[in-house]
Structure formats: structure tokens, C-alpha cells
Chains A and B, each alone.
Chain A
Amino acid sequence: AQSVTQLDSHVSVSEGTPVLLRCNYSSSYSPSLFWYVQHPNKGLQLLLKYTSAATLVKGINGFEAEFKKSETSFHLTKPSAHMSDAAEYFCVVSDETSYDKVIFGPGTSLSVIP
């Protein structure tokens, strides 16, 4: 069975400082992993996805994530936070056995302090 853990329910950073949002997954097979962002009162938008190609994945708005199989992690990072990055971030896992049943993590709320 697959599962996703987002280690922090809330992260607060100062504008211009690095962002780290942590995600660990559990999957019996080769997973596909995604990060989605949800701004207030908006739908979700795909930031980036890993599907067994390069382990370092670059996404939109300067975000990137690294797939580490040995640590079963897929942490999301950004070198310098902007005010517009304040949102809810979801880590998502899907694997070969149940691609149709994607599992969303509980979400991490990111606050950016001016």
C-alpha cells in the first residue's frame, strides 16, 4: 500500500530565505511523485513531477525536488522564497499498482514573512 507523509503541517520562512518542505512516501513499487500547490480559494496546480527519469526534478516558479530512494523522500526546495509562494503544498504518490488512485499527503501550509 502506498502512503505519503508530509512532516510539517506548517512552515514559516522569511522572504528571500530558502524553502524546504519535506515529504516521505511509502510504496511497494516504483512510484511516481508529484508536488501540487494550492493558493487560497484556488484549485491545485502541478509544480513538478518525478516519473523515474532524473532524480532531481525542476518545476515551475523556481521550485525543485530530489527523489531519494534510499530515504524514501521527495523534499521540495526553493533557494529564495517570495511572498507569492505562500500557499498549501501537497506531496502526491502514485505507483504501478494503482496509478488511478493517487494518494495526497495532508499538506504543508507555507507562510512567507516580509
Chain B
Amino acid sequence: DSGVTQTPKHLITATGQRVTLRCSPRSGDLSVYWYQQSLDQGLQFLIQYYNGEERAKGNILERFSAQQFPDLHSELNLSSLELGDSALYFCASSTQRGGTDYNEQFFGPGTRLTVL
């Protein structure tokens, strides 16, 4: 158990809908990362937050957004969903801010999103 929790475990929805994925980092970790894992694209970094502020952006679509709250949990919002958004979404946390202090990331179990 990594100490990172993600809810829900599974989510089934229809095209055009909007969903919110939730992540609680390990106790004491200030950084939260979001990743998308799909069969055709592999594992892709989406976005990172550090202590409530956006720190880095990866291959995140404009239809997707995220935020980190004062209690450090994070939410990933996916809107106008398309079939191709079906994937496993991972959250990870670390103690470090990023930059030259890259450190181990602890991954949650993931949320499997199915868009029908």
C-alpha cells in the first residue's frame, strides 16, 4: 500500500459527460501528479501540483483540468468526454517540489474510466 488513495476505482460514463477523479496524497507529501495510461498512448504525464499551485504541465488536453486543495487532496476534472478518454488514470505523490529535486513518486491504485 503506497499511502495514496484514489476514488472511485471504476467509473463508467457516456460521451459528452463530465467526471471528477479524486486523489489523496501520502501524509506529508506536497506534490501530486496525474497520469493517464491507455493501451495506445502508454503512460503519459498530465499535470503536477505542488502545495496548491500548478507546477508543471504535460500532455493534458484543454478539456481536462485539475486542482489541489488546501488539505492537499487533488481532483482531476474531465469534460466533454470522448471514447478515446477511456483509460486508467493514476495519481502519484511525492515530497519534492520537482525541478532538480526529483524524487520517488508513490502511485495510487488508479481510477479506471470507461466512456461508452
Contact = CB atoms under 8 A, between A and B. Distances in A.
Q: Please classify the interface of chain B as helix (H, G, I), strand (E, B), loop, or mixed, using the class held by over half of its residues.
A: mixed
Interface residues of B, number: 23
A28 B57 CA distance: 20
Given A45-B2, A94-B102, A102 B107 contact: no
Interface in A39-79: 41-46, 49, 51
Interface stretch (B12-20, B43-51, B66-74): B43-51
Contacts of B2: 43, 45
Contacts of A99: 98-102
B102 A102 contact: yes
A96 B48 CA distance: 17
Nearest to A44: B107
Nearest to A105: B42
Q: Please classify the interface of chain A as helix (H, G, I), strand (E, B), loop, or mixed, using the class held by over half of its residues.
A: loop
Nearest to B101: A99
Nearest to B105: A46
Contacts of B4: 43
Interface of B: 2, 4, 42-45, 48, 55-56, 58, 90, 92, 98-102, 104-105, 107-110
29 contacts: A32-B102, A36-B107, A41-B109, A42-B109, A43-B4, A43-B90, A43-B92, A43-B107, A44-B43, A44-B90, A44-B107, A46-B104, A51-B102, A96-B100, A98-B56, A99-B98, A99-B99, A99-B100, A99-B102, A100-B48, A100-B55, A100-B102, A101-B45, A101-B58, A102-B45, A103-B45, A104-B43, A104-B44, A105-B42
